[in-house]
C-alpha cells in the first residue's frame, strides 16, 4: 500500500503525519509512507488545502488533520 502525506510543514501537516505513522505501526509493515513537502509536487494532486492524504494514488482527505482512528478507517477502506 502506498500512502502519501502532502503538506509544506504546517502544524496540521505534522499532526497528520504523526497520525499516519501511528496508524501504519498499528496496521503492519506492508505500507510505504512518503511525506511530500515540495509545493510543486503537491500541486500535482487535486487538493485545494493542505494537509492532504493520498492512498494508492487517490486523494482521500484534504484540508484537515485526521486522527489515527480516521486514518486507520481510510486505509482499511482503500486496501486491495
Tens digit of pLDDT for each residue in 35-67?
999 999 999 999 999 999 999 999 999 999 999
pLDDT interval class at 10 (50, 70, 90): very high
Q: What is the CATH number of domain 2-77?
A: 3.40.30.10
Instruction: Determine the Cα–Cα distance for residues 33 and 5; give it in Å rounded to an integer.
Output: 8
Q: Hey, is 76 helix, strand or coil? A: helix
Amino acid at each position: 500500500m502506498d500512502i502519501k502525506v502532502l503538506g509544506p510543514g504546517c502544524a496540521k501537516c505534522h499532526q497528520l503525519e504523526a497520525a499516519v505513522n501511528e496508524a501504519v505501526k498499528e496496521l503492519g509493515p506492508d505500507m510505504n509512507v512518503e511525506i511530500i513537502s515540495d509545493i510543486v509536487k503537491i500541486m500535482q494532486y487535486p487538493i485545494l488545502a493542505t494537509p492532504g492524504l493520498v492512498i494508492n494514488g487517490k486523494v482521500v482527505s484534504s484540508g484537515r488533520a485526521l486522527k489515527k482512528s480516521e486514518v486507520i478507517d481510510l486505509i482499511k477502506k482503500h486496501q486491495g
